[in-house]
């Protein structure tokens, strides 16, 4: 196992649903030993997220690959004792309770670092550990709404729209992974851990960095622009025969090459289109010109012609096309096959992290609830079979 990047790193995963499990999934993909702590008899909420197939949730299976699952009632006195023993073994702890919950359980960062000064605690919450909103419950849709993402997503004249994925959950999970691994790197050198505080709403705000600057520098509040970019043109979706495509000209040189391709070289010198600023001001007219050229071409034909001329372009894929794409699904291996003990052969979304010497991958399918109780409690903490039976009888595991 030496050829995995985080070999030997022990992550105690107290999180559930999406944001925390996504962060620990990334670390598990890179080789960390992630021990997922779940409530006895219940487990992570996502075990019941649909669509359920033969009682199993692909949602849970994707987010929790490469992890071990133990059950532990952290509210029971014996459960707390065991959790402290696990804390001593951990390099990183991840949680996404509402701020204050971990402290009420007796496991706040001040207590954790007294027992294990090395440990890094990573926390994800809706609004962070500090500030007037800290105690509020947080969900992805609130992060998208309150960060401003929804206010710039949708078509002019329409209503603000949620991005149809758990965007702030995923962004906060990625951010937590980056933060805790940075803190862990420092702990390796100094022997001192720290608390990493990530908020869904902050993650949404930072995703808007290139849009926030419009207001911060001009005072103009960005609004709904459909598929058009806020600062570049042509940089949007355009109608063809039977569908739409994306054309993305990020500079004047590319626009000039586009004008040559559509047999309208004079447009590069037209005062309406001579600069990006001018093109933005005349975006409607520019769209009419391009869609006139595209009118008798299918999306496939148009994309082929654009790419051959060096113009960045691409189709707007539905998910079935993404999963069959020879680059994304083939060369980039973004939908690997796994064998699940109940569902058999299936595909999941794979890792986007491509490391040349320490490859990521699915080494272990998502665990059944408490599947690794014996492995963790006996091998890691030195318990025996009798101890486990006593814990089960007492409702601790």
3-state per-residue secondary structure call for 205-271: HHHCHHHHHHHHHHCCCCCCCCCCCCCCCCEEEEEECCEEEEEECCCHHHHHHHHHHCCCHHHHHCC
- Residue 72 exposed, middle or buried by CB count within 10 Å (0-12, 13-18, 19+): buried
Average pLDDT along the chain, 397 residues, taken 10 residues at a time: 88 98 98 98 96 96 98 97 98 97 96 97 98 96 98 96 97 98 98 98 96 95 94 97 97 97 97 97 97 97 98 97 97 96 96 95 95 96 96 96
pLDDT attached to residue 83:
98
Helix, strand or coil, per DSSP, at residue 35: strand
Catalytic residue list contains 169: yes
Please say whether the dihedral angle defined by the alpha carbons of residues 162, 163, 169 and 171, taken in this order, is positive or negative.
Answer: negative
Contact 27, 9 (CB under 8 A): yes
Q: Please give the biggest Cα pair distance in the chain.
A: 85
pLDDT attached to residue 45:
96
pLDDT attached to residue 3:
83
Q: Which domains are assigned to the chain?
A: 10-207+332-393 (3.40.50.10540), 235-317 (3.30.1540.10)
Q: Dig out the tokens for 11 from the structure.
A: 């992550």
Q: Dig out the tokens for 66 from the structure.
A: 């490469």
Locate tokens 């990047």: which residue? 5
Smallest CA-to-CA distance from 291 within 256, 244, 249 is with 244
pTM: 0.95
Please say whether the dihedral angle defined by the alpha carbons of residues 108, 113, 116 and 122, taken in this order, is positive or negative.
Answer: positive
Rounded CA-CA distance 298/129 in Å is: 51
Q: Which of 44, 169, 202, 372 is catalytic?
A: 169
């Amino acid at each position: 196992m030496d050829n995995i990047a985080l070999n030997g790193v022990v992550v105690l995963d107290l999180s559930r649903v999406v944001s925390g499990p996504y962060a620990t999934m990334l670390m598990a993909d890179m080789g960390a030993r992630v021990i997922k702590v779940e409530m006895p008899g219940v487990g992570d909420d996502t075990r019941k997220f649909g669509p359920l197939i033969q009682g199993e949730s692909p949602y849970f299976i994707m987010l929790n690959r490469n992890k071990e699952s133990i059950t532990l009632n952290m509210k029971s006195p014996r459960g707390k004792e065991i959790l402290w023993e696990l804390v001593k073994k951990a390099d990183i702890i991840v949680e996404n309770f509402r701020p204050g919950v971990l402290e009420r359980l007796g496991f706040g960062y001040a207590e954790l670092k007294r027992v294990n000064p090395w440990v890094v605690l990573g926390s994800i919450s809706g609004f962070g550990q500090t500030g007037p909103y800290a105690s509020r419950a947080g969900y992805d849709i609130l992060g998208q709404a309150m960060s401003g993402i929804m206010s710039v997503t949708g078509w002019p004249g329409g209503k603000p729209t949620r991005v149809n994925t758990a965007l702030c959950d995923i962004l906060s999970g990625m951010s937590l992974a980056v933060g805790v691994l940075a803190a862990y790197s420092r702990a390796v050198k100094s022997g001192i851990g720290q608390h990493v505080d990530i908020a869904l709403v902050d993650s949404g705000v930072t995703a808007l960095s290139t849009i926030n600057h419009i207001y911060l520098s001009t005072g103009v509040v960005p609004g709904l622009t459909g598929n058009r970019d806020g600062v570049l043109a042509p940089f949007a979706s355009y109608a063809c025969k039977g569908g739409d495509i994306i054309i993305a000209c990020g500079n004047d040189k590319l626009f000039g090459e586009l004008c040559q391709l559509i047999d309208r070289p004079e447009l590069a010198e037209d005062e309406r289109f001579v600069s990006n600023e001018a093109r933005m001001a005349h975006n409607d007219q520019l769209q009419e010109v391009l869609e006139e050229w595209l009118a008798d071409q299918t999306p496939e034909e148009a994309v082929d012609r654009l790419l051959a001329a060096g113009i960045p372009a691409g189709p707007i894929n539905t998910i079935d096309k993404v999963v069959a794409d020879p680059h994304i699904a083939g060369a980039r291996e973004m939908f690997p096959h796994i064998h699940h003990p109940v569902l058999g052969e299936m595909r999941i979304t794979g890792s986007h992290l491509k490391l040349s010497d320490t490859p990521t991958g699915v080494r272990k399918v998502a665990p059944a609830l408490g599947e690794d109780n014996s492995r963790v409690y006996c091998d890691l903490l030195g318990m025996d079979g009798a101890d486990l039976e006593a814990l089960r009888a007492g409702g601790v595991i």
